[in-house]
Structure 1
Amino acid sequence: MAPTLLDRMLSSKNAVLAFGGIVALATAFTVFGSGDQPIFPKPDDPTGDPATWSIDQLRRWLELRNLHPSPTASREELLERVRLNIRRP
């Protein structure tokens, strides 16, 4: 009995690789997806008095606003930049 088109397609390496690629993409979308609750959520914006923030929070606040803090800046320099750029209601 001669192999049918379906038999040849199922035994093809290309079909197996294509199916594997689809499964890998679906898995990646599920893990890193753009849903309401991503697996790696972005950190929240620091709140409260900037004087009580850590250096990392000061840097993150500046980076979120594209103010590019210097890697060698001291805590006092970062705090001054935040206070100059913060908008109070």
Structure 2
Amino acid sequence: MDSLQTGGTSIKRDELMDQVKEQIAIANAQEILTKMTEKCFKKCIDKPGTSLGNSEQKCIAMCMDRYMDSWNVVSKAYTNRLQRERHRM
């Protein structure tokens, strides 16, 4: 079965999978941004005000960098594990 019939329109399986992967990537990016914002705000902002102080700006920048670095390490390890498991099958 190379294609799926939906409402009279033929959609190839690969195209559908690409769309699903893109939607998952967008959802993951939104989740990362939300979690990063929550965690870094909680860690770096003691008393919210109308502007950020210099130390708060630096803390947020470093927190976000660390969070993204950590996410990338975990994501890469997970991807590698999935690839190893696929090769075993």
Q: Same fold (TM over 0.5)?
A: no
Q: TM-score range by the shorter chain?
A: 0.3 to 0.5
Q: Report the TM-score, using the length of structure 2 for normalisation.
A: 0.33
- Bigger share in helix: 2
Q: Report the TM-score, using the length of structure 1 for normalisation.
A: 0.33
